[in-house]
Structure 1
Amino acid sequence: MAETQNSRLPIYAVIVTVVFKLLFLLTHYIQEDAFITWRVAQNVLDYGVIGFNGGTKISASTTHLYVFVSYIFNLIFGKEYFIEPLLIFNSILFTIGTLFLSHLLLKNPWHKAIFIFLIGIVPPAIKISILGMEYGILFFLEMSLLYYGFNKGKKWLLTLLPILIMFTRIDTVIFLGIVFLVDVFWNKKIRWNYVFGGILGVLFTVGFNWFYFGEVVNNTITAKKLLYEQQFTFAQNVDYFLVSFGNFWGMLKVPGNFNPITIIVLIFELLCFIYLIRQREKRNYFLWMIFIFGWTKQIIFLSQKSLFDWYYWVPQLLLFVPILIFVLEQKEKRNLWLSLLVIFYIVPMLAFQTIHAIATGNGEWNYRRTIGVFLNKYEKDKKQWILLEPAGYIPYFSRLKTIDEVGLVDKQIQEEIKKDKPNYWINTVKNRKPKYLLSYQNLYEGKNAEYYKTHYKLLKEFRVKDHLKSDNKLLEKIYNLKPSGTDYNLYIRVD
């Protein structure tokens, strides 16, 4: 009876972890890009087209599979009520993924339960679960591949899961490739079901892009490369890498190229990994997979100057895994090791993420969302256009047609960037005459001030400082400790 109860401990840990993380829904901390995906899903609902602005096809979202999942949730719960159920779904899937990972790496049910809870409450895990991005589904699919495909030997899943994984994000080719190489090196043979699945995944994803959108890669990749691409010297590349290294290799996004916490954690991760693989156990097969992937993914994206922190969530977690296993399996003074880890790392990380989520949630939900809500009430004609950046909260809640500065949701602005990059913004305004402009700057100052004064009037100013107050004094202190958001000026065309 006791043995049966113990075997259920990991399942109980999944439930407790999910329930614990649901508290973060109260912060309304949702990533801007999630609203792009959700608007695309609603565009499918309204127009039958994967797009952003009516009947125009565009791969505005980085993830196709998550668009369809979001579409189903919109269909079931309605546009007004689908967000919370979808976030809970993401959190459940992610935590089940950690359950699969615990089965691969640990034997003791108590160790598995503690592993599931502790890895579930560090910052990347919380962000994967509640920020609305596709990584909850992705983590679940990747861990399912390792557990059922490579551990249980389910051949049909070795073929199916790579297709679903690549259809979620095309950059998962890195994960699939590392897993393939480690498997071949370890077993000295090729799993042709997996190779077939990988080939199908590439063909299906690229083929879908080509036949539906007329492009090989997602528009989001093309747009970012077009606007952000610059020529760097070798020294500039090194400096950029060091700054990014300091920000992303640990659990914290801390400015500056020297982050002592990051360096200490990195060294400890390496030492724990070396200690574990020297034990020559069967699980080393999976430890090599996740550790090499974690390093490879971070190095590739850092070298490409990808500063968006969600690219690093899954690698951050997987690189932290050896530390948790090392501490949990200490035969002597395990409780001391575990207490030190929890008190000096897990709890501070959780506290940081809680404060960050409350402050950022205020800046996004209570501030940026109100701009969209204002426009939704002010402008009844939803066929009118707004030029702004970014394309998440404000277009979603305003329901207006949108031109974003980067070109994620509108391809025409990319043509202006190609023709005259320094002046593409003003050229877009002159050529397309959007009814609304939302800018970080005062457009009545600068070289094009006369044009803006003639054709646009200032409709409303939105200021972050106006949203740093709360009846709850603790919340107010957090808002002021880490103000989140950007000041905006909203202009309306007068001719």
Structure 2
Amino acid sequence: MSETKNSRFPIYAAIFTVVFKLLFLLTHYIQEDAFITWRVAQNLLDYGVIGFNGDTKISASTTHLYVFVSYIFNLVFGKEYFIEPLLIFNSILFTTGTLLLSHLLLKNPWHKAIFIFLIGILPPAIKISILGMEYGILFFLEMVLLYYGFYKGKKTVLVLLPVLIMFTRIDTVIFLGIVFLVDLFWNRKIRWNYIFGGILGVLFTLSFNWFYFGELVNNTITAKKLLYEQDFTFSQHLSYFFASFGNFWGMLKVPGNFNPITIIVLLFELVCFVYLIRQKQNRNYFLWMIFIFGWVKQIIFISQKSLFDWYYWVPQLLLFVPVLIFILEQKEKRNVWLSLLIIFYILPMLAFQTVHSIATGNGEWNYRRTIGIFLNQYEKDKNQWILLEPAGYVPYFSGLKTIDEVGLVDKQIQEEIKKDKTNYWINTVKTRKPKYLLSYKNLYDGNNSEYYQTHYKLLKEFRVKDHLKSDYKILEKIYKLKPSGTDYNLYIRLD
């Protein structure tokens, strides 16, 4: 009876972790790009088309599977009420993934329970759960593949899960490839079911892109490459990498290029990993998978100048897994080790993320969202266009048709970038004549000021400093400690 009770500890821990993290919903910290996916889902609901602006097809979201999941939540709960249920769903899926991971790597139920909670309250885990991105679903699917496919040997899982994983994000080919290679070297045989699943995943995703959108890869990838691509020498690539990895390899991003805390944590992760694999246990099979993937994913994305935080959430967590296992399995002075970890790392990270979530939630939800709400009330014709960057909060809450600077939600601007990358913004304004412009800059100063003064009127200024107040003094201190957001000028066309 006692053993049965103990075996339930990981499940209790998972439930408690989900409930604990729901407190972060109060911060309203939701990632900008989540609103792109959700608008695509609502566009599918309204027009029957996967797009962003009416009946024009475009893969504006990086994730197809999450678009369909978001579509279902919009359908069930309605556009006004789907967000919280979806965020709770994401949190449950992610935490279930950590439960499966604990089964792969640990035996003691108490160790599993502590593992689930501690990894669940680290900054990347909190962001995966409540920021509205697709990584909760993705982490869950990846752990289901490892647990039921490679641990339990379910052949159906080996075929089906690669399809779902790749349909969630096409760059998961990195994860699937690392898992294949480790399995091949470990077992000295090929799992043909998994090979078939991988091929099916590639064919299904690329075929969907091709037959529905007329492209092989998502438009988001094409747009970012077109605008952000630059020619670097090898030495410039190398210096850029070393300047960047200190902030993106670890869980704490600090001002400046170099983060020494990350170096210390990285070295400790390596030491713990080497210590664990020297024990020659069966779990080493999965440790190799997650640790190599963590390294490879980070190296590839940093080397490609991919500096968006969410690319690194899952690798950051997986690289930290050996640290938790190492400390939990110490036979002597385990409580001392665990206390030191919690006091000097887990709690400071949790505090950092709490402050970050409150401040950023204020800057996004209480500030940037108000721009969209203002436009929604001001402009009743939702067929009018706005040119801006980024394409998340403001288009979602305004309901206006949108041209974004990068071209994620509108392909026509990509043609202007190809023709004249330097002047593509003003050329788009002159050619498309959008009714609204939302700019970080004062368009009446600098180049083309005469054109803007002739054809556009400043409608309203939006300033971050106007949103740093609260009835609660502690919140106001956090807002002012870490102001989040960008000052905007909103212009309306005169003619």
On whether the aligned pair clears a TM of 0.5, the verdict is yes
Give, as a single letter, the amino acid of the residue that structure 2 aligns with 1:262: T
CA contact (8 A) 1:246 1:255 kept: no
CA positional deviation for 1:2: 1.2
Matched-pair contact (CA < 8 Å) for 2:253–2:259: no
- 2:76 maps to 1:76: yes
Trace 1:28-427 onto structure 2 (pairs within 5 A). Answer: 28-427=28-427
CA distance in 2, matches of 1:261, 1:406: 33
Taking only aligned residues, the RMSD between alpha carbons, in angstroms, comes to 0.5
Q: Partner residue of 2:480?
A: 480
**Alpha-carbon contact 2:29-2:365 (below 8 Å) kept:** yes
- TM-fit CA distance, 1:258: 2.9
Query: What SS does the corresponding residue of 1:492 show, helix, strand or coil?
Result: strand
How far apart are the structure 2 equivalents of 1:7 and 1:38?
A: 38
CA offset at residue 235 of structure 1?
Answer: 2.4
CA positional deviation for 1:159:
0.1
- Range that drifts further, 241-250 or 297-306: 241-250
Paired residue type of 1:443? L
Matches of 1:442 and 1:250 in 2, distance apart? 36
Shift of residue 254, structure 1, vs aligned partner: 1.9
String of CA shifts for 1:266-285, please: whole Å, max 9, x gaps: 00000000000000000000
Deviation at 1:429, TM superposition (A): 0.4
Deviation at 1:257, TM superposition (A): 3.6
**Helix, strand or coil at the partner of 1:235:** helix
The change in CA–CA distance for 1:475 and 1:54 in structure 2 (over 3 A counts) is same
Please, which runs of 5 or more residues in structure 2 have no aligned partner?
none
Aligned runs of 1:425-436 on 2, under 5 Å? 425-436=425-436
Name the SS for the 2:58 alignment partner.
Answer: coil
Q: Is the 8 A contact 1:359 1:483 kept in 2?
A: yes
Report SS of the residue matched to 2:438: strand
Q: CA deviation at 1:154?
A: 0.3
Count of paired positions: 495
Question: TM-score scaled to structure 1, two decimals?
Answer: 1.00
Paired with 2:66 and 2:88, the residues of 1 have a C-alpha distance of 14
What is the CA–CA distance in structure 2 between the aligned matches of 1:399 and 1:342, rounded to whole Å?
45
Paired residue type of 1:416: E
Helix, strand or coil: the match of 2:445?
Answer: coil
Matching residue of 1:447? 447
CA contact (8 A) 2:28 2:361 kept: yes
- Contact 1:61–1:67 (8 Å) recurs in 2: yes
CA–CA distance in 2 between the matches of 1:371 and 1:258? 34
Q: Is the 8 A contact 1:368 1:485 kept in 2?
A: yes
> 2:462 maps to which residue?
462
SS in 2 for 1:422: coil
1:27 aligned residue: 27
CA distance in 1, matches of 2:273, 2:255: 27
Amino acid at match of 1:82: F
Is 1:246–1:256's contact at 8 Å kept on the other side of the alignment?
no
Structure 1 unpaired stretches of 5+: none
- How far residue 238 of structure 1 moved from its aligned partner, in angstroms, is 1.6
Scaled by the length of structure 2, the TM-score of the pair is 1.00
Q: Tell me the CA shift for residue 256 of structure 1.
A: 3.0
Q: Do the aligned partners of 1:124 and 1:251 also contact (CA within 8 Å) in 2? A: yes
- 1:446 to partner: Cα distance: 1.1
Structure 2 counterpart SS, 1:251:
coil
- Kept in 2, the 8 Å contact 1:246–1:254? The answer is no
Shift of 1:244: 1.4
Query: How far does the alpha carbon of each residue in 1:159-193 deviate from its partner, in whole angstroms, 9 at most, with x for none?
Result: 00000000000000000000000000000000000
1:48 deviates by 0.1
Deviation per CA, 1:276-303, whole angstroms, max 9, x where unpaired? Answer: 0000000000000000000000000011
Partner AA of 1:138 in structure 2: L
Code of the aligned partner of 2:12: Y
| Per-residue CA distance 1:9-50 (angstroms, 9 max, x = gap) | 000000000000000000000000000000000000000000
Show CA shifts across 1:97-139 (max 9, x none). 0000000000000000000000000000000000000000000
Separation in structure 2 between the aligned mates of residue 204 and residue 238 of structure 1, nearest angstrom: 36
Query: In structure 1, what is the Cα distance between the partners aligned to 2:258 and 2:211?
Result: 46
CA distance, structure 2, for counterparts of residue 85 and residue 257 of structure 1: 37
Q: CA deviation at 1:449?
A: 0.5
Percent of matched pairs sharing the same residue: 88
Structure 1 residue 409 displacement after superposition: 0.1
Q: CA deviation at 1:242?
A: 1.1
